[in-house]
Amino acid sequence: MKSTKVVEKEILKKEDVAQTYDVFEICKFEDDDDAMIDDDVSVIPKMESNLGCKDNNKMKIKGSKKIEDEAASILPTSDDNEHEEKNEKLISLTSKTPSHFSNKPPFFISLSFFFFFSTKPQKPDSSIVANYLINQHGFSPETASKASTVITRLRNPDNSYSVLTFLGKNGFSTTNLEKIVQQVPNVLGFDLDNIIKPKIKLFQDLGFSSDDLAQIISSDPWALTRSADKRLLPSLVMLKSILGTDVSVCKVLKLSGWFLKHDLEKTMIPNIEFMMSCGISKTQITKLVFNFPRFFVLKPESIKVCVKRVDELGFDRSSKMFLHAIRVLSSMSREKWEMKLDLFRSFGFSEKQLLFMFKRAPQVFAVSDKKIRDGTEFLLTTGRCDMSIFTLVPELLVYSLEGRIKPRIRILEILERKNLIRTQPTLTTYLKMADKKFFEKYVSLCEDEADKIFSLATKAHS
């Protein structure tokens, strides 16, 4: 016969084991749903709590009798030492880290382990996530805080670690990653295998370097949400057919990554075809793509209307300024165009002079009102010109007042004061001269003073 104490001890141990089984019977885990994405629509992944029981209010513990029977089959009936040994082995099995966490960093092991054994839906602490991003990926506190807010709402927080690690291994710097998170923080929840990897592979297969790829994606992270086959590849092929080389395509995308969000087959291609039908050369068009890319993704109907307006102004289609005139008119409404004309009229220009100015340098009419006023007033106060100069050479108003016009006028004054100029240049020739020639011909005569002038100009212009 066993003593009462021994019997009580065995009963208590059986209950301990039964409770251990309860943990596994209670927890019912959901599979993570992949963040699905449409071909042409940007998708934000579902933001839900991490793994947990489907419905805490409906959890049921299986019959205690069955559990006790299973526990009894494991527990010994006579040898207490053997009993202790088996019980310890059983309990140790419940505390082992699942194998699929073995390659994760310490933070994510603890985070995932916590979720796995929780009987209630839990969220990781945002401060812990932020610290991890700061320490492991070099994020700034501001970006880390923004990213942690998203990560703590994901169903699978570990996915964000995988996304950052994958991008980092493919040439994305901390700066690139921060730009992505700041613009589209939900990218941390995108499915790595089905959404992100196919897009990266597409660019790599087309010959984009790691640095180029990182710059393009960080300038427009939503490129990762677009269909690789239906949107990205056709757009890249079209750009190459227009620009001629992969290098040119890469250059445009680094300047304007948003190009890939447009359906170029419905905008850029018909616009370019129409412009070429108007007599504009492909060389002119290609050059303008680099400087004014948005112009080419306007609705074709808008471009046609602008061409008609330029024709009505008496523009010669063979003029090199014809394309620039179309671009300028497309950049403003009719109301704004009239306001710009009124500004020039306030300086005393006639309608005939305005038309002459527009035909010679249409880009002047796209300059801000303030820049036009400031440039006109400064040049007139120098006493070196009158209003007629703006009719003959309107492009002077396009130049930077602080970065070009003022420094050159000051250098001219120094050279005149020191009698270092043999032949007095005309103001237009002097201001329009290319930088290299200007430095060789004039700056070299007063390098010390010129350095100070351009240093001040740089500060004022920045």
Residue span of the structural domain in which 420 resides? 399-461
* Domain contains 35: no
Distance CA 313, CA 38 (A): 46
Of 296, 232, 239, nearest in space to 260 by CA: 232
Residue 388 belongs to a domain: no
pLDDT score for 462: 52
**Alpha helices in 42-157, H assignment, sequence order:** 64-74, 80-94, 106-116, 126-137, 141-151
Q: Is residue 106 included in any domain, yes or no?
A: no
Let me know if residue 436 belongs to a domain. Answer: yes
For residue 442, tell me if it sits in a domain: yes
Contact assessment for residue 367 and residue 398, using Cβ atoms and an 8 Å cutoff: yes
Q: Which residues of 446-462 are buried (b: 16+ CB within 10 A; e: fewer)?
A: beeebeebbeebeeeee
Nearest to 229 by CA among 199, 257, 270: 199
pLDDT of residue 226: 87
- Is residue 410, in this structure, part of any structural domain at all? yes
Q: 140 in a domain, yes or no? A: no
The verdict on residue 39 lying in a domain is no
Q: Per the structure, how many domains does the chain have?
A: 1
Helices (DSSP H) in 117-232: which residue ranges?
126-137, 141-151, 158-169, 174-183, 197-205, 210-219
pLDDT at 155: 67
Contacts 24+ apart (CB under 8 A), 366-372: 366/328, 366/331, 366/332, 367/397, 367/398, 369/340, 369/343, 371/397, 371/401, 372/343, 372/344, 372/397
- Going residue by residue through the chain, which has 462 residues, state the pLDDT in tens, using 9 for 90 and above: 445 444 444 444 444 444 443 333 333 333 444 333 444 333 333 333 333 344 444 444 344 444 444 444 444 444 445 444 544 444 444 444 444 444 444 444 444 444 444 444 455 567 777 787 887 778 888 888 887 777 766 666 678 889 999 999 999 999 999 889 888 888 888 899 999 999 999 999 988 999 999 999 998 888 888 889 888 999 999 999 999 888 999 999 988 878 888 889 999 999 999 999 999 999 999 999 999 999 999 999 999 999 999 999 999 999 999 999 999 999 999 999 999 999 999 999 999 999 999 999 999 999 999 999 999 999 999 999 999 999 999 999 999 999 999 999 998 998 898 888 888 899 999 999 999 999 888 888 887 777 777 675 565 555
